[in-house]
Structure 1
Amino acid sequence: MTGMTAQQCLEAHHRRPPDEWLIGFARALRAAGLHVTADRERTFLVAVSQVGLGERRGVYWAGRATLTSSPADVERYDQVFTAWFTGRPMETTHTVPPTVRPPVRQAALDDDAASGAGPETEDDLLRARASGQEVLRQRDVAALDRAERAQLARMFERLHPLAPHRPARRHVPRRTGPVNGPATLREQLRRVGEPGPVRHHRRGVRTRRVVLLIDVSGSMSAYADSLLRLAHRFVQAAPTTEVFTMGTRLTHVTRALRERDPDRALVAAGAVVPDWSGGTRLGDALAAFLDRWGRRGMARGAVVVLFSDGWERTGPEVLGEQMRRLRALAHRVVWVNPHRGKAGYQPIQQGIVAALPHVDDFVAGHSFATFEELIEVIAHA
């Protein structure tokens, strides 16, 4: 084909980013009367990424395949395309469109690729981003380098934890459900005996408290940053979440994690935790939690999640007794072990052996994928 390519055309218009100019074209079609939705805009961007911006014909057919609804739209589509791209008519109404490979998942467009030399074509870039994101999701966070940790930190922003719910004591009005006798009777009296609508109600729900107890001892130091970022997402999503760190002592860090920016929140938490990468006294720390906060109501009916590998400096009998006390108060107890999902792991540590009889869910917690699974476990607890 002769004339400017689609890529050259895009660069000629004030050097705007290609995605911005392509979305502008889709919205120009919407202004011209075509039914172009946000989903079609995204599909159009994916289709163009497959055919490439170097061929005007490919961009034309990518848009025609994704942004038109019927043959009646073709004429207006051609007019807008001609006006938007260089002003030269596109006489391809009877031309067979080029073959377009199946689009990659849209999630590949939403995140940055890992640092380093990137692929040469946009198609390769999208595929590399998708595969790189998936590989990073499955990687053990303790084995990541600095660049990979920075990318993982951005991925945490995509997590949206949901707090579990519990039945409330009070009932709330509903259009269906059990008949609300008193409300129905009051309605009849208000109408002076005339028949009126029957009132219904159902039992309401309340957010159940989530308590996160994070081991920050030496054996867990490689996971502490990621676990605190996960805790930050819980605190931001559910105000009833409480977070403590456990090492040689117990530290309440919920207030620090209420800072909206995650990096500032972690700095604030680090400033109040005195026992980073020290020893482990899980039994004593859990006893301090139960004596000071748990029995007063924080653990009562809550979902309590412990993040630890189970290495205990003191005798396991203390930890077993405190876990028994915790299980009697909590609605559900979840133990997250970073070694749980690794091949060949056996729960033989004395602390784990003492705690497991009092644990409802024993899950892995070493990768971003396992963090996503943990969120589901907590939401349905």
Structure 2
Amino acid sequence: MTPRIGTTLRGGDEVLLGFARALRAAGVPVTQDRTRAYLDAVAIVGLGDRAATSAAGRATLCSSPDHLERHDRVFEAWFGTDLPRTSTASPRERSAVTTLVVDDSGEGQGAGEADDPIRAAASATEVLRHRDVAGLSPADRQRLTALYATLPVRSPRRRTARHVAHHRGEVDASRTLRASLRRMGEPAEIRWRRRGTRPRRVVLLVDVSGSMSSYADALLRLAHRLGHGVSTGSTTNGVETFTLGTRLTHVTRALRARDPERALAAAGDAVPDWSGGTRLGETLRAFLDRWGQRGMARGAVVVIFSDGWERGDAALLAEQMARLHRIAHRVVWVNPHRGKPGYEPLQGGIVAVLPHVDDFLAGHSLATFADLVEVIARA
């Protein structure tokens, strides 16, 4: 479906306002003042000029060089290949609300012929967000790829032993005393402190076996987004990614490339057992023996993407999941079939792991990925 605007002067503003909201959801701090400046700038350059519209957004909505890439990704996802051929309203005309309709046929119906006018500029995008990624056409997959940039990724935090100054909390006796001494012993304002925080490591274990092959590409794109979504100083947040199949493969280095296509191509070259069998118990034991027990999984949020089909011993899988649960801060299991009607967790692998997971989530659409991102951020 392609969004099409009615032939009013204010039709373009609905699209631009929707784009500003999507950009804010992607993590760019878009304020009302910046949105107003953006609408005024596009009214001057004209909505029909794609390059000028993009430049107006970069100049008015982005407050940091780090926001420019997010702006470009959301711009491509929101507007697609063509901008709507409609005029934007002047600043005086923006008080009225216009209607956006969705053209299901793509045949150019009039705005008055639609049965359900809606107020969101991305109804087609919203439908795409809830569709199963395994059943998408190549064109829809390409559109969905651009929408990964809209996932509001935030790093989970853990408390540290060191204290930092704060406006409330416990009394910071040392700073309060020093402030009093600077005033020659006169009483000074009480200073407060609280324990600081730092990012908590996230470990992603992605099943790339045959039963998960239709989801593996989308899950690795999600892993790439998580790895590059939050910055802490000069490095990305602590996200480690492994693939599970007949063997364990560490693909964090392959996913470091900023461009998602290059990163996924590098990960594909690094994984030798793509679309192979499934030995979850053995690969989890290999992860814990070599990486997890030595510190990578300790205190971390561990997310396992798998449908639970296990060719090996389910008892071994349960044993390794119990080991993992003892050392990890939180264990999340994401099953692409979890959110589908009629699903029951009856597979031997799922039955074995459920007692040792903290969250059992769906993972078949961009909307469920957004829910997962929120669970990770709050862990």
User: 1:202–1:341: structure 2 CA closer, same or farther, 3 Å change rule?
Assistant: same
The answer to whether the Cα contact below 8 Å between 1:293 and 1:299 also exists between their aligned partners in 2 is: yes
Shift of 1:156: 0.8
Unaligned runs of 5+ in 1: 1-6, 8-17, 23-35, 68-99
How many Å separate the matches in 2 of 1:260 and 1:216?
Answer: 22
Query: What letter matches 1:273 in structure 2?
Result: V
Q: 2:253 matched to 1:225? A: no
Query: What letter matches 2:93 in structure 1?
Result: A
Larger relative contact order, structure 1 or 2 (CA cutoff 8 Å, min sep 6): 2
Shift of 1:322: 0.3
Among residues 38, 59, 65, which one is paired with 2:93 in the alignment? Answer: 65
Secondary structure of the corresponding residue to residue 323 of structure 2: helix
Corresponding residue for 2:135?
A: 143
User: 1:263–1:64: structure 2 CA closer, same or farther, 3 Å change rule?
Assistant: same
Q: Considering only aligned residues, what root-mean-square deviation do their CA atoms show, in Å?
A: 3.5
Query: What letter matches 1:331 in structure 2?
Result: H
Shift of 1:157: 1.6
Corresponding residue for 1:374?
A: 372
How many Å separate the matches in 2 of 1:210 and 1:203?
Answer: 21
Query: What letter matches 2:248 in structure 1?
Result: L
User: 1:137–1:198: structure 2 CA closer, same or farther, 3 Å change rule?
Assistant: same
Q: 2:343 matched to 1:345? A: yes
User: 1:247–1:179: structure 2 CA closer, same or farther, 3 Å change rule?
Assistant: same
Corresponding residue for 1:274?
A: 272
Query: What letter matches 2:166 in structure 1?
Result: R
Corresponding residue for 2:309?
A: 311
How many Å separate the matches in 2 of 1:122 and 1:229?
Answer: 37
Deviations 1:136-173 (A, max 9, x none): 11111101111111111111121231111111111001
Query: What letter matches 2:153 in structure 1?
Result: P
Shift of 1:185: 2.5
Deviations 1:105-142 (A, max 9, x none): 9xx9xxxx99x956456899997973321221111110
Shift of 1:64: 2.8
How many Å separate the matches in 1 of 2:162 and 2:169?
Answer: 15
The answer to whether the Cα contact below 8 Å between 1:164 and 1:208 also exists between their aligned partners in 2 is: yes
The answer to whether the Cα contact below 8 Å between 2:152 and 2:370 also exists between their aligned partners in 1 is: no
Shift of 1:189: 3.8
Corresponding residue for 1:95?
A: none
Q: 2:356 matched to 1:364? A: no
Normalised by the length of structure 1, the TM-score is 0.72
Q: Considering only CA atoms, is the larger Rg found in Structure 1 or Structure 2?
A: 1
How many Å separate the matches in 2 of 1:297 and 1:237?
Answer: 23
User: 1:284–1:63: structure 2 CA closer, same or farther, 3 Å change rule?
Assistant: same
The answer to whether the Cα contact below 8 Å between 2:333 and 2:361 also exists between their aligned partners in 1 is: yes
The answer to whether the Cα contact below 8 Å between 1:40 and 1:66 also exists between their aligned partners in 2 is: no
Q: 2:35 matched to 1:39? A: yes
Secondary structure of the corresponding residue to residue 172 of structure 1: strand
Secondary structure of the corresponding residue to residue 370 of structure 2: helix
Regions of 4+ moved over 4 Å = 41-46, 120-129
Query: What letter matches 1:66 in structure 2?
Result: R
Q: 2:153 matched to 1:157? A: no
How many Å separate the matches in 1 of 2:125 and 2:108?
Answer: 15
Query: What letter matches 2:258 in structure 1?
Result: R
Identity among equivalent positions (%) equals 56
Query: What letter matches 1:39 in structure 2?
Result: T
Corresponding residue for 2:59?
A: none
How many Å separate the matches in 1 of 2:226 and 2:330?
Answer: 17
Shift of 1:187: 3.2
Shift of 1:195: 2.8
Normalised by the length of structure 2, the TM-score is 0.72
Corresponding residue for 1:237?
A: 229
In the alignment of these two chains, the number of paired residues is 306
The answer to whether the Cα contact below 8 Å between 1:160 and 1:233 also exists between their aligned partners in 2 is: no
